[in-house]
């Protein structure tokens, strides 16, 4: 069974975030006021199956080798996981996840790359190859102007018809259910349309209680396995956007006082070369 809290196939049109649009934090920082939409408040949903930047990034091979060699993650060296990358994506092989180059790069992007090269930074034509250092264009999970999400790529209609697969859209998993020995996950507890449900494969299942013992006790969660490192050392993949005024070159949102609304209303969603649109 596959539970997803997002509606990957139900979204008609999605707009990517742009650093050129000013925002202000409200409350806990997850809600923003968008000046481009007359100050209306919008929830910032963070990265999801569909709402994301569409960047395809395998990561540095050294990280995989570190996991395998230093942390005992058998089977996770880069040489061992590389065949799975090649099998899953349509970049160098015939996988379902379409990975493409930028079709119509902005003039400013080329200028930035040239400036980086002028100070000795080497040009890297493939950030997903064996070398990640350098400057170059990103690769994107876009299929002919359409977001190629994991749902779009892997959950084709024929796949969803399989008798051994149940896809619940709009379901939020709340707990993992374990067998009577408390060593094997056998099911999941989830919430669908404000109602609670359980789905498991054995007659008895214990509720999730895997993590730091003291932390679980604070929330009155019965302990299943005391694992101090669960939930620790989680890091977000942060980045630093740099905004600047373009005096000579045309920027991404040039001439659009209300860029998102005007682009969606007047420009349509058929072109793959419009960076402010991410048509589904």
DSSP string, 144-199: TTEE--HHHHH--HHHHT-TT--EEETEEEEEEEE-TTSSSEEEEEEEETTEEEEE
Neighbours of 201 (CB within 10 A): 11
Could you give the CA distance from residue 163 to residue 153 in angstroms, rounded to a whole number?
Answer: 19
Would you kindly state where each structural domain of the chain is located, as residue ranges? 28-159, 168-234
Residue 35 corresponds to which tokens in the numbers above?
């000046």
Pairing verdict, β 100-101 and 40-43:
unpaired
Q: Cα 58 to the chain's mean position, in Å?
A: 12
Neighbours of 266 (CB within 10 A): 8
Which tens digit of pLDDT belongs to each residue from 201-255? 544 445 578 888 888 888 888 888 888 877 777 666 666 677 777 676 665 555 4
Checking if the pLDDT of 260 tops 50, the result is: yes
Q: Hey, which of 133-137, 165-169, 231-235, 262-266 has the most confident mean pLDDT?
A: 133-137
Q: Which of 10-19, 144-153, 237-246 has the lowest mean pLDDT?
A: 10-19
Mean pLDDT across 158-163: 89
Could you give the CA distance from residue 252 to residue 248 in angstroms, rounded to a whole number?
Answer: 13
DSSP state of 37: G
Which tens digit of pLDDT belongs to each residue from 17-39? 433 333 444 444 445 555 556 66
């Amino acid at each position: 069974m596959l539970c997803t809290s997002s509606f990957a196939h139900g979204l008609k049109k999605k707009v990517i975030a742009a650093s050129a649009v000013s925002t202000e934090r409200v409350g806990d920082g997850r809600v923003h006021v968008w000046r481009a939409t007359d100050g209306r408040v919008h929830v910032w949903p963070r990265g999801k199956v569909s709402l994301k930047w569409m960047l395809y990034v395998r990561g540095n091979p050294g990280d995989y080798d570190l996991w395998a060699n230093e942390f005992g993650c058998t089977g996770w060296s880069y040489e061992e996981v590389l065949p799975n990358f090649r099998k899953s994506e349509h970049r160098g092989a015939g996988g379902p996840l379409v990975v493409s180059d930028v079709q119509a790069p902005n003039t400013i992007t080329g200028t930035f790359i040239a400036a980086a090269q002028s100070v000795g930074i080497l040009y890297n034509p493939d950030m997903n190859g064996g070398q990640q250092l350098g400057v170059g264009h990103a690769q994107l999970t876009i299929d002919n102007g359409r977001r190629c999400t994991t749902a779009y790529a892997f959950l084709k209609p024929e796949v969803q018809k399989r008798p051994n697969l149940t896809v619940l859209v709009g379901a939020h998993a709340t707990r993992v259910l374990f067998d009577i020995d408390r060593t094997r996950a056998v099911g999941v507890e989830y919430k669908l349309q404000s109602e609670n449900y359980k789905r498991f494969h054995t007659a008895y299942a214990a509720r999730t209680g895997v993590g730091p013992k003291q932390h679980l006790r604070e929330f009155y969660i019965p302990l299943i396995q005391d694992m101090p490192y669960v939930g620790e050392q989680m890091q977000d993949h942060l980045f630093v956007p740099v905004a600047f005024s373009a005096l000579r070159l045309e920027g991404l949102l040039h001439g659009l006082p209300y860029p998102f609304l005007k682009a969606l209303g007047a420009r349509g969603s058929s072109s793959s070369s419009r960076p402010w649109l991410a048509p589904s």
